[in-house]
Amino acid sequence: MAPSDCEILPTRDSRIFHFRVRLSSPEDHRHVHASTVVAGCKCEAVYMLLQSSPEILVLITVRPNPDLEGDPKVSARMVLLDKTGSPAPSMGTGTPTNIGGSIPGLIGCYNLIARRDKVKANCVVDNYFVVLCSVDINWTSPTSSLKQELPSLGHDLAMMWDKQDLTDVSFDVGGESFSAHRLVLATRSPVFRAELYGVMAESKMASITIHDMEASTFRSMLHYIYHSSLPDAGKTDISSPMAQYQHLLVAADRYGVEGLKKICEDKLCCNGITTDTVVSMLELAEAHVCPKLKARCFDFLTDGDNFKMVATSSEYLHLMQNFPTLLVEARNRFKIEHGKPTIVEPGSHKKARVN
């Protein structure tokens, strides 16, 4: 047979490949093979038609790279694909074979045996059939120190995002495009999980448009999702960090990223409350269920001078009209001590001292 009578077709997962083979005639007993590398090991796929037998044989053999240290543990699986490209386990699936021990340097050998007539009837397209091959190789380090030096899965995923490697979904936010991994987003956010893997229309989209969010906010949220931290201040173009923390808190609440929401709430509690911002902070806390931030805002307003400057503003009155429960909390809070600042009732120009 010519070399073109078989080939290995890689997939996006380096552990999985397709072995595509031209179905030989019953009179042809020669074999063909192709090879690839998985986790530092040479994987060879071999096809042969068994002599005086109605069956065909597909083998996968695995040999380690002699330059690598450690003890590789191998497991593999093979399954024929039908004419539609779907697995057809009834045609035959790969199983371990014991011939590996008799061949020097071989650490794994797996075979698949199937009837030629069934393969021809159910799996052959344009005289070719395809075997889906999956090879998992786990290296056992000769020393425990090497194992400790290996990066964590989270680190590897973060590096994949930094390098834009194997991304499978993109987002259009504020005129900018961001690529990411569906599975990572679904793991870190219940909202992304429902959006990307549920019945929503976005689950079938390669590109999703997000409205009512700035590109810098989405970028920071993605950074947190992958790194569990916010970008370094020196690496961002944020001119008003407190405003960005407010936007990030809204985004985190929108997508259920609770860790990020807590970070933003803590930042705003420490540095974000002034006479100019306390009303917007109080509204933010009430709208997005941030009890710590709301308590800090009320603590700020218990100062008589702060309250006098804020409580007569149109923004404060508008807030109390839109959130009546806040007015109740404010009245209960400020009547604890005699002589606390007067409360301005919404819709009234009179000041009423709470006794």
Give me the pLDDT at residue 33, please: 84
- pLDDT (tens digit per residue) in 116-165: 889 999 999 999 999 988 888 876 655 544 444 556 888 888 889 988 88
Q: What is the pLDDT of residue 182?
A: 94
Tell me what pLDDT residue 104 has. Answer: 65
For residues 12 and 279, the model is more confident at 279
3-state secondary structure string, the chain? CCHHHEEEEECCCCCEEEEEEECCCCCCCCEEEEEEEECCEEEEEEEEECCCCCEEEEEEEEEECCCCCCEEEEEEEEEEECCCCCECHHHCECEECHHHHHCCCCCEEEEEEEEHHHHHHHCCECCEEEEEEEEEEEEECCCHHHHHHCCCHHHHHHHHHHCCCCCCEEEEECCEEEEECHHHHHHHCHHHHHHHHCCCHHHHCCEEEECCCCHHHHHHHHHHHHHCCCCCHHHCCCCCHHHHHHHHHHHHHHHCCHHHHHHHHHHHHHHCCCCCCHHHHHHHHHHCCCHHHHHHHHHHHCCHHHHHHHHCCHHHHHHHHHCHHHHHHHHHHHCCCCCCCCEECCCCCCEECCC
Residues 244/214, Cβ–Cβ less than 8 Å: no
Number of neighbouring beta carbons within 10 Å of residue 265: 24
Contacts of 106 (CB under 8 A, 6+ apart): 61, 62, 63, 100
CATH 1.25.40.420 fits 273-355, yes or no: yes
Answer whether 265's CB lies under 8 Å from 259's CB: no
User: Which of the pair, 344 or 352, is modelled with greater confidence?
Assistant: 344
Q: Is pLDDT larger for residue 135 or for residue 64? A: 135
pLDDT of residue 343: 53
**What is the CA 273 to chain-centroid distance, rounded?**
34
From the options 2.102.10.10, 2.60.120.10, 2.60.210.10, 3.40.190.80, give the CATH code of 3-139. Answer: 2.60.210.10
Q: What integer pLDDT is reported at residue 349 of this predicted model?
A: 45
> pLDDT tens, 160-210?
998 888 999 999 999 999 999 999 999 999 999 999 998 888 788 899 999
Tally of CB atoms within 10 A around 87: 12
Mean pLDDT check: name the lowest of 6-10, 76-80, 117-121, 331-335: 331-335
Judge whether residue 52 has pLDDT over 50. yes
Q: Which amino acid is at 260?
A: L
Q: Mean pLDDT over residues 239-249, rounded?
A: 88
Q: List the CATH code of the domain at 151-263.
A: 3.30.710.10
Query: Which residues on adjacent β-strands are paired with residue 171?
Result: 178, 208
pLDDT at 145: 44
CATH 2.60.210.10 domain position(s) in the chain: 3-139
For residues 323-327, average pLDDT: 86
Token output for 107: 């650490």
Neighbour tally for 293: CB within 10 Å: 24
Q: What number of other Cβ atoms are within 10 A of residue 230's Cβ?
A: 19
* Residue 9 CB neighbours (<10 A): 11
List where CATH 3.30.710.10 sits in the chain: 151-263
- CATH 1.25.40.420 in the chain, residue ranges: 273-355
**Overall pTM > 0.75:** no
Whether 86 has a pLDDT exceeding 60, the answer reads yes
Q: Are the C-beta atoms of residues 25 and 41 closer than 8 Å to each other?
A: no
State the Rg of the chain over Cα.
32
